[in-house]
Amino acid sequence: MDIADCCGCRYNICVIRLKVIGSMYKGGKVSIIKTFALVALFSIGMLACGGGSQSVKIGLLSPQTGPIAQYAPGFEDAGNVAIAELNATHDGDFVFELIVADSGCDGTQAATSAQTLLDSGVTAIVGAACSGATTAAVAVASAAGVPMVSYASTSPALTTIDDNGYFFRVVPSDAQQAVALVQVASAAGAKNPAVLYMTNDYGAGLGDNFASNWSGSTCTSVGYDPSEGSYDASSMAQSVIDGGCDSVLLMSYATDGAAIMEALSAQGFSGTIIGADGLADAAFIESFSDTAAVNGLIATRPRPGQDSAAKSSFEAAYAAAGGADGAIYTGETYDAIKLTAAAIVSDPDGKNILAALKNTGTNYAGASGVHTFDSWGDVLGTGYEVCQFDGTAFSCPRVWTADAGLAGK
């Protein structure tokens, strides 16, 4: 007789493997000693298993340091809300734990942190936020057979990344956001914009796709390394002034974006500045030493789904937990964790986790919308919010959709 995997070894739960050699029967009668031994050992095993609850660790790659560290608290608050709900829902069956590691918005740091998460025994990784960090982490996780679900990485290159099928995301590709940016720029009266973009996976992907969709002229196009000390914001601002640009398309993160905007302000630039999701967070203002420079910024970010029970429930729980207003990708972080957990629950022994993720990720009704993974692990999304800073006040009064274009004030 062989009793195995009483709790499921994949999730760091005790495994009891008891082999009773020979027959338990002697002359047609059960051996009382062997029966007591079996019952005793099984009972001990169940106690070690925590009464049958299956422990599940989910990793979260959060940019606690680096150019979007301002946004990390929102991601982590949303993650903690998801974990609390999961433990309340599955009390007695599963115990979920969120293991957070710093991605640094950097490939080298993210790869190291991904390995740390794997070493801690996570079943899946949610993240990262920055596309370059995600690219590096996917290489580590996929090699180990551990799936990743990103809540914020939007580079078009991630669609075809070499991931052995282990990478998914609940945000749309920037191939769509670039089209939205073209219409937003046109509506803002841009005729001859400068395009300033980071040369990393996120910035280059968004910049290239914008250029492919923009039919007008550009006064200058400047790529830069966003690493601290690697770019000269003043020189970039001067190139905008010298080029007679009427507007700026800024594909940046928070730290470098603020430095460039302050340099433009200092040099007297008065045109419109339009950014994307790297800047579309109320916490972006924390990156400025001169907050007057953020006034007038327009920035796009993926649009949350329409009002739903899931969205309302998350927003109430997030607010109750002290989550910041205007934070980006919080609903997506929550959804990535809960979707991943639902897949794990449906496949508790972990033998078919990819199939479980694909099944769970079909018409998944989450806080950030209804998500269906395509064959690449991508989702279509529901369009983009068009946000703005009026002084230091942040709001998102307009939306863009592929079907209807721009709408709102």
Domain 175-304+385-408 fold: Rossmann fold (3.40.50)
Across 21-32, average pLDDT? 37
Q: What is the pLDDT of residue 409?
A: 67
Q: What pTM was estimated for this model as a whole?
A: 0.87
pLDDT band at 50 (very low <50, low <70, confident <90, very high): very low
Residue 12: pLDDT over 90:
no
Residue 30: pLDDT over 70:
no
Residue 186: pLDDT over 80:
yes
pLDDT band at 36 (very low <50, low <70, confident <90, very high): very low
Domain boundaries, the chain: 2-48, 56-173+305-381, 175-304+385-408
pLDDT tens track for 82-99: 999 999 999 999 999 999
Q: What is the pLDDT of residue 306?
A: 85
Can 56-173+305-381 and 175-304+385-408 be said to share one CATH topology? yes
Q: Are strands 193-198 and 220-224 parallel, antiparallel or unpaired?
A: parallel
Q: What is the pLDDT of residue 34?
A: 37
pLDDT band at 15 (very low <50, low <70, confident <90, very high): very low
Q: What is the pLDDT of residue 397?
A: 97
pLDDT tens track for 114-131: 999 999 999 999 999 999
Residue 280: pLDDT over 90:
yes
CA 348 and chain centroid, separation: 24
Domain 56-173+305-381 fold: Rossmann fold (3.40.50)
Q: What is the pLDDT of residue 217?
A: 96
Residue 5: pLDDT over 80:
no
First to last CA, the chain: 71
Query: What distance in Å separates the CA atoms of residue 16 and residue 137, rounded to the nearest whole number?
Result: 34
pLDDT band at 104 (very low <50, low <70, confident <90, very high): very high
pLDDT tens track for 331-380: 999 999 999 999 999 999 989 999 999 999 999 999 999 999 999 999 99
